[in-house]
Amino acid sequence: MMENKSLYKFIIWLGVACFLFLAVTFTYNYYNTYYAENTSFNEEKIFLYIPTGSGLNNLKTQISPFLKDSSTFFDAAYKTKYVLNIKAGKYEIKKGFSNKEIINSLRFNNIPVNVIFNNIERLENLASKVSNYIESDSLSLINSFNEELFLKTNNLNPESVFAIFLPNTYEFYWNTSADQFRDKMLNQYNLFWNSSRKKKADALNLSPIQVSVLASIVQRETPKVDERPTISGVYFNRLKKSMRLQADPTVVYTIKKTKGFDKKIRRVLYKDLKIKSPYNTYLNRGLPPGPIYMSDFSSIESVLNMENNDYLFFVADVKRPGYHIFAKTYRQHNKNKRQYTSWLRKNNIRR
């Protein structure tokens, strides 16, 4: 009878011990799977970029180098069903994160990036610049900008579409597609062109695109923001009189478009004025077909709020670098030019 009691106690003790062992093992495994620290890098944090369409294999390639134990991470990823919904984006993983914290970050914390661009000469440069910030490559961006349906729907063409990109800092997700980027830029452009600005453009008998084209010439003509309204007034006066703008920046653009945008242009020579191109305002009347530069806000505002003057000509002022001397008549302009041509000869600069 005593032997049976002892056996019964032993069985109970053994059951309790097994239960405790299993409970401890389960608790340890559960903790190790979800809550134990599982990062292997020394930095305070790293950023993980998960491309669009990524599957399990791609995720393993991306994240495994930053984990102490990838097997526990993927065990947790399976059990939480994260592997069934891997999301593209940029994610922050901090030093000391557990698997649960990593998975939560990958699920909910797609980090926005600031896309910054300004001082850009053409659409291809913009695409290259933007591709450094978001997942879309420059070719995808260019194709999106020039998509026939997009251009037709918005009354644009491959030359004028550059005008919709206003220089600024914009927030995007890293996994933004080319079309999403393009469409947000168009939306920002439409927001900028509010009723007040459209009214001012209408009063000048210019479309918003034409304002941007003229602004791009003004911006390349002078770095002096305070002088831009005056130069805008000069060019507008020439447009009203059907005079050629004869803007040197358009010739520089023509040279680059003809000979390559990597070409360094020191000066515009007389022979350059004869290059045949719709952008050459020495040969063609009116505005070029598109902007020759990314117009900033000050340039656009300088056109919309141009100085009301009677000037038709201007030439560089050698006494005030960056500024110009203005004239109402060709006779006065020739007189003003003498100080400039004299300066060129003195400095042995060929025109």
Half-sphere exposure of 151 (CA within 13 A, CB side): 15
- Kindly report the pTM of this predicted structure: 0.88
> pLDDT tens digits, residue range 241-273?
999 999 999 999 999 988 887 767 767 888 889
Instruction: Map out the domains of the chain as residue ranges.
Output: 8-108, 112-192, 205-309
Q: Is residue 15 very low, low, confident or very high in pLDDT (cuts 50, 70, 90)?
A: low
The CA distance from 268 to 276, in Å, is 15
Q: Any idea which fold 8-108 has?
A: Dna Ligase; domain 1 (3.30.1490)
Does 343 score more than 90 pLDDT?
no
Q: In the chain, what percentage of residues exceed pLDDT 90?
A: 77
Higher-scoring residue by pLDDT: 347, 283:
283
Helix, strand or coil for residue 228? Answer: helix
Residue range 332-349: mean pLDDT, rounded: 79
Categorize the per-residue pLDDT at 321 as very low, low, confident or very high, splitting at 50, 70 and 90: confident
pLDDT of residue 13: 60
Residue 103 has pLDDT above 90, yes or no: yes
pLDDT value of position 258: 85
The answer to whether the beta carbons of residues 163 and 291 sit under 8 Å apart is yes
Residues 322-345, mean pLDDT to the nearest whole number: 87
Q: What is the dihedral of CA 188, 191, 193, 198, to 10 degrees?
A: 160
pLDDT at 10: 56
Q: And the tokens for 175?
A: 């996994």
**What mean pLDDT do residues 100-111 have?**
96
